[in-house]
Structure 1
Amino acid sequence: MRELLSAGMRPSEDRSDALIATLQPADASLSLSRRRRGRESPAGAFSIDPAGATALRRQLGPGRRAPRLLLRVPPALVLERPVTLPLATEGELDRVLAYELDRLSPFRAEEVFWTYAVEGRDTSAGQIRLRLALVPRQGLEAALGTLRAAGMPAAGLLAPRGSGGSWSFGLEAPGTAREPAGRRLALRLAVAGCAALALVAAALPFLRQQRALAAAEARIAASRPAVTEVEALRRRTAERAGGNDALSAEAARLGRPLEALAALTAILPDDTFLTALTLRQGVATLTGQSAGAARLIAALSADPSIRSAAFAAPVTRQEGGRGEVFTIRVDFGA
């Protein structure tokens, strides 16, 4: 009766009494143990070859009925992945997964032993969440052949589960267990109908997404002229900003004559006048006449816009006490 249940309805862990042959890939051997009431006891080890098959057959003994035997595979051979399907496929998960296996894994259905377990349902989103487990057939052919040659064909597979416990695999694909002959045709028609509904349900989100994408593309096309205009305005603004930055950099390098002239006009006293003024790269040279040239240095140095001020030549006094002739170097800085 257990074999008539779908894989998702079967217990994920088989604890029934049985012989268990554990595959040892490192030395190509099988470790045999006997499980009774959930406890295992060693029963020998055999090589995976004709000699091992003969030894297994001899241990069973002539005339004895072969016990139920399970092949346990190592964790390295087990592949697991989550799968989400439309909730409408819940009644035919075996068939749907068989059709979709080449999309969900690197293998075709006939290349692997596989099973699954239902992990949850989201009725609001119309989805069912599964955990799919796969074991490639290629890595087990030699071991299964040795067991068949010994007259002890494996009834199923055991494999460790990533979240704890173990997986139980049938050697036939899920959903292919024997059924009464009178139900096969009806079941096949039902499977075909469910598969068609599953395909429609799977394609519906993509159709909605395509419609939304088309609407978004239409809105983008309608807004493209405005975007082009904004980009052109940004380019012009950037070009103007670049020109202003260049002018500012050049003014900082060469000095700002109007600002320097305004500062000197405000600082120099009324009894002082200039006969020459030069400004190069922020440094001004003042030549003129004043009633007291020495006080000009203090007045110029007190202004925050002037970095330094000093005489560039000796001060000379004019005949008749008409003032002093000076040459001062003023550094306005950056």
Structure 2
Amino acid sequence: MILSIPGPEAVFRWWVSRMAELLPAVLRRDQRQDVRLPVRRDGTLEPGSLSRLPLPASRKKSLLSARPAPVGLVLPAGAILSRELTLPRAAAPHAVQTIGYDLDRLTPFRPENVVWTVTPTGKAFPLRNGQVGFRLLVAPRRSFEAAMQELAEHAVIPTHLRCEGMEGVLPLGTPSQVRKIRPSLLVLLGLALIAAPFIRQEISRLRLDHALSALSAEKQQAEALRRDIAGFTQGPAAIRREEHRLGSSLLVLQTLTQALPEETFLTELHFHEHHVSLEGQSAQATQLIGILEHRAAFSNAAFSGPITRSEDRRQDLFTLHADAPG
């Protein structure tokens, strides 16, 4: 009698199977069979289909709570269209996108009016080198929309579609849309991450420009005030400089008024760059040169012509010139 001793792998498989038998029934995979609800030709559920749904589970959850069984809709025969397709081996990894672009050409429906899926068939095509076979399943939405609305009223969301007399399951959803959105979102996120520093830099630059514009306006106001103040302060200084260079007519008039005797009257007075010319009448005309030089600080005083008598013989007519003080 020959005894066969099982190997380590066989012992391990036997031990796993024994442990699986000890698990609660709610955790075994064979307990999660899908609930199949038949759908009529008009898209509504068969009468009494809702009774097949499991009772709502208790709100209290635990590790031993069973997951809800998936719910599938069973459409009448012919409601799901099936078609065999071939694609080049290079396009096989992107079969969903490739077939999705030509879905309106491959089927008599628009993409937004159907639910579809594509799966590899695993068939070999020896006569077509580099070709891969796929199976396209398409179901019009009108064939099950009424059933979906009826189940939505009971808070039930089906996960897939089946068809009488056909193998395979059609998941509810549009794979082409799901596959297209993810790369675009990744690209947008990548662009946003790349552009974020530049956007912050541009915002900072705009803020600085705004602050500089405000400071520029204030600077212009300050410069205008400075020019006004400079004009107020520089005007008198310029006048004083000109008076010092050319002499002050007001100061000459004041000096002459205080220095000339009371009997002296001026008929003409010319003043130009410190040089004064006087014409008038005086009872003491011969004394005017001494008075101007000693009392009024004039210099180079002299008569421009002879002294003559007035018509009434009371005054002397004179014409003299001198340099004003300062």
TM-score, normalised on structure 2?
0.39
TM-score, normalised on structure 1?
0.38
Q: Which has the higher contact order (CA 8 A, sep 6+)?
A: 1
Greater gyration radius: 2
Larger strand share, 1 or 2? 1
